[in-house]
Amino acid sequence: AEVGLIAQFLAFTFLYYNDARASRRGWAPPWYSVYRFVLTFVVGASIVASLIGRGQIADLVTRPPGPADRMRALRNSQLEQLEDEDAEARDRAAGEADEEEEEE
């Protein structure tokens, strides 16, 4: 979304530049350059405010977990489960070895 807003800002600025050149060459009415400047300023300020606001809100609001986050959580839980099973198997093996030593 930020890339889109930045692209819109750059596009509006570029179009203002082209429109200002067209006004200077007489291809547009004399009042058009002022109108276009005000329009570009308002739109540009709105886009900049949106970018700043999105940056501040992003710090406050966490995004919902996506597929990659869910896969990472699943992998971590499976890894923990595997480690627990390995620890239980080692404990059982150590217990059986202790029992065999006691029998001898």
Residue 80: predicted pLDDT: 95
Q: Average pLDDT of 39-48?
A: 94
d(CA 79, CA 81): 5
pLDDT band at residue 62 using 50, 70 and 90 as cut-offs: low
Residue 61: predicted pLDDT: 67
- Structure tokens that stand for 31 in this block: 């009042």
Contacts of 51 (CB under 8 A, 6+ apart): 2, 5, 6
d(CA 86, CA 1): 45
Q: What is the pTM of this model?
A: 0.52
